[in-house]
Amino acid sequence: MKKLIYLFLTVLIVSFSSDDGGGSNDGCPINFECSNATANDFLNLEMVTEDYQSAVNAYGEPISEGLYQNIDGGYYYSWSWGDDNCLSVSCSDCSYIIWGGC
């Protein structure tokens, strides 16, 4: 039974892994270079537009925004509505994270 479970898990892992080497962006939620992405690039990401619009509805237009680089070399775009109200989106090659708070 144990071997059957291991076999199933191996097949499952292999079926979800990809080695296309062709530089395809299939299934990747972002298709831009994080280091030179614009506000519109980030706003076009799923869920970012909704979170951004909710913040605009609550606080008005942001007082500042921009693309920043953190100490680890990663990039993030941030909109600020004051000291405690901001929306930030960090990105890497094929993923992004949305977080609030400054």
Kindly list the domain boundaries of the chain, sorted by start residue. Answer: 32-102
Interatomic CA distance for residues 36 and 64, integer angstroms: 18
pLDDT in tens, 25-84: 456 777 788 888 899 999 988 889 999 999 999 999 999 999 999 888 888 999 999 878
Q: How far is CA 73 from CA 34, 48, 70, 98, in A?
A: 11, 22, 5, 17
Smallest Cα–Cα separation from 36: which of 96, 70, 94, 77?
77
85 or 8, higher pLDDT: 85
Q: What pTM was estimated for this model as a whole?
A: 0.67
pLDDT of residue 73: 85
Q: How far is CA 69 from CA 30, 33, 78, 86, 91, in A?
A: 18, 13, 11, 16, 11
pLDDT of residue 57: 95
Mean pLDDT within 84-91: 89
